[in-house]
Amino acid sequence: MKKYYNFIKTITGQQTSKILDKIFEECKPYIDLMKSCDGQRLLFRGFRDEITIKEIKHRWNRTPIDTPQEIHDFLNDKFNKKFGWNARSGVFCYLKEIKNVTTGYGNPYILFPIGDFKYLWSNKVHDLYSDNEIEMDDYLEYTKYTDEKIDNDWKNFCHTHNCDINNKEKFNKFINKLDKKYITDFLNYLEVLVDTYKNTDICNANETKEILINCDSYYLIDIFYIDLIKKMIWGKEKKPTI
């Protein structure tokens, strides 16, 4: 089937339907779940390369693009304890082609998890990093000063945080007190946020909420085929025969 991927837009509708039928067979758990929802709902994910159809093996050991590694690891630990898997290393997607979200990570494509899969979502989280970007940047700033104690830029830090710019010893005490409280409070907040996630009821997830998928591989399909895909899954019209 892979040999067709680069030529699918030039082949007939009947051949396209056969390729999609094969994909739907491999993704039956996902298709069945989406068919149980009201409305014709599909998952979407951004991807930087231009493709038509591509099978992707998920990299569970990926390095986070935006989230600080320490926060990434902390969240994975909390998700693992609550749900049994490293959700922040999963596949991120949405229930709608949201241009200002999916395209931030590349072109939007329709996502089909292969085989059995799990998911998580929270009605409190649109995009966990973007929702907390300022706090995560502050976290990096505080942990940097914690590790380095006194940085060459410490006076600039004091200018923005109202500490004594003429006394390094006072700065040490100030930053140690400040960073410990901030870091503790922020990590406690993230732990509470993890508790808002659920692994059921995806049909009622808001279209703007980030969904985390647990699967080993998945297909991405050009949104050019969204109408055909919906017709084939929900049976509103017969498959095209050209």
Determine the average pLDDT of the residues in 196-207. Answer: 94
> What pLDDT is stored for residue 168 in this prediction?
60
> What pLDDT is stored for residue 163 in this prediction?
61
Task: Record the pTM.
Answer: 0.78
Report the SS3 class of residue 51.
Answer: coil
Q: What is the pLDDT confidence band of residue 151, given thresholds at 50, 70 and 90?
A: low
Residue 182 pLDDT greater than 80, yes or no:
no
Does residue 117 contact residue 226 with C-beta atoms inside 8 Å?
no
203 Cβ neighbours under 8 A, 6+ residues apart: 36, 37, 38, 41
> What pLDDT is stored for residue 87 in this prediction?
97
Per-residue DSSP letters for 159-180?
A: HHHT--TT-HHHHHHHHHHHHH
Residue from 4, 11, 17 nearest 240 by CA: 17
Mean model confidence pLDDT for the chain: 82
Q: Which two tokens stand for residue 94?
A: 């949405």
> What pLDDT is stored for residue 142 in this prediction?
64
Determine the average pLDDT of the residues in 69-95. Answer: 95
> What pLDDT is stored for residue 106 in this prediction?
80
Residue from 68, 120, 129 nearest 93 by CA: 120
pLDDT tens track for 43-72: 999 998 888 999 999 999 988 888 989 899
Q: How far is CA 152 from the centre of its chain?
A: 36
Report the SS3 class of residue 9.
Answer: helix
Helix axes 69-83, 168-194, angle to 10 degrees: 30
Does residue 103 contact residue 46 with C-beta atoms inside 8 Å?
yes
32 Cβ neighbours under 8 A, 6+ residues apart: none
Residue 210 pLDDT greater than 60, yes or no:
yes
Determine the average pLDDT of the residues in 74-98. Answer: 93
Among the ranges 18-22, 59-63, 115-119, 227-231, which has the highest mean pLDDT value? 115-119
* Top-confidence residue, 208 or 174: 208
Strand order in the sheet with 211-214: 91-93, 211-214, 118-121
Angle, CA of 145, 130 and 109, to the nearest 5°:
135
Q: What is the pLDDT confidence band of residue 2, given thresholds at 50, 70 and 90?
A: very low
Residue 167 pLDDT greater than 90, yes or no:
no
Determine the average pLDDT of the residues in 95-121. Answer: 82
Number of helical (H) and strand (E) elements in the chain, helices listed first: 9, 7
